[in-house]
């Protein structure tokens, strides 16, 4: 089967493009790029070198994948952008490569939806199933956990994180970490309770007893009056794996307010 490449597209002979991929009008695929099975690049998509796009991912008009990081420390080193399988990247999104100082790679896992005009900066780690609504601006070194959702036109300050299964409302500024399985909204950004909608979408992972344990943990964290650092140490050592993953070396020491 021949690769479907529009006559107006340019694909470098040094790019690796699967025979089932579809490259639309005016696309550019640079030397060193890797395009997987059944990937669709609509039109005017630019895939830089150092970018890998996983199978069945669909990239819409005008998206730019793997441009150099917008970081003054970047000095032209070879770095990468890794995009997983079954992702959807809508119109005019920009996803930058990593920096040497940040580990060298920006990562977008499987089944991620990035809606139009959103930006994912250098060295971000976007986990499986994340939904990023229109116009979100994600700074460098940000981590977004599995199946989290970001509302439209939300900005996340560099080096912060949004926990797995969390929800951040639209048009907000995230300058503190949003813990897993919670909702956050307001200005300044605040804790808004458990994100029960997401937990109910995954009933096998979140039976009633686990949801209740999460609820108790957040009551202790936000309502008990105890020092936050003391409660965090208990959560890190407890049985809940989401807390262990969240409060690791990436955690910057701040949390959304109660």
Q: Which residues are catalytic?
A: 122-123, 140
Which tokens is 158 given? 């560099």
CA dihedral 103, 106, 112, 114 (to 10 degrees): 150
E strand or H helix at 126, and its extent? strand 125-126
The span from the CA of 79 to the CA of 119, in Å, is: 18
Place of tokens 């890794």: 82
DSSP letter for each residue of 139-182: -TT-EE-TT-EE-TT-EE-TT-EE-TT-EE-TT-EE-SBB-TTE
């Amino acid at each position: 089967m021949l690769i479907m490449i529009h006559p107006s597209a340019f694909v470098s002979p040094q790019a690796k493009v699967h025979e089932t991929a579809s490259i639309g009008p005016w696309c550019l695929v640079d030397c060193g790029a890797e395009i997987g099975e059944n990937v669709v690049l609509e039109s005017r998509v630019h895939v830089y070198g150092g970018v890998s796009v996983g199978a069945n991912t669909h990239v819409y008009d005008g998206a730019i994948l793997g441009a150099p990081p917008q970081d003054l420390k970047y000095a032209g080193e070879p770095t990468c952008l890794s995009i997983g399988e079954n992702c959807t990247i809508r119109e005019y999104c920009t996803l930058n490569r990593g920096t040497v100082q940040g580990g060298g790679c920006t990562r977008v896992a499987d089944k991620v939806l990035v809606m139009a005009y959103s930006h994912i900066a250098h060295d971000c780690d976007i986990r499986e199933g994340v939904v990023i609504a229109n116009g979100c601006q994600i700074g460098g070194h940000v981590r977004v956990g599995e199946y989290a959702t970001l509302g439209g036109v939300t900005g996340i300050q560099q080096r912060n994180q949004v926990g797995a299964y969390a929800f951040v409302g639209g048009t907000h500024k995230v300058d503190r970490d949003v813990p897993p399985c919670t909702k956050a909204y307001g200005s300044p950004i605040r804790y808004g309770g458990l994100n029960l909608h997401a937990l109910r979408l995954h009933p096998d992972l979140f039976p009633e007893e686990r949801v209740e344990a999460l609820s108790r943990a957040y009551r202790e964290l936000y309502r008990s009056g105890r020092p936050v650092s003391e409660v965090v140490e208990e959560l890190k050592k407890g049985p809940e794996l989401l807390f262990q993953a969240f409060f690791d070396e990436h955690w910057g020491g701040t949390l959304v307010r109660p």
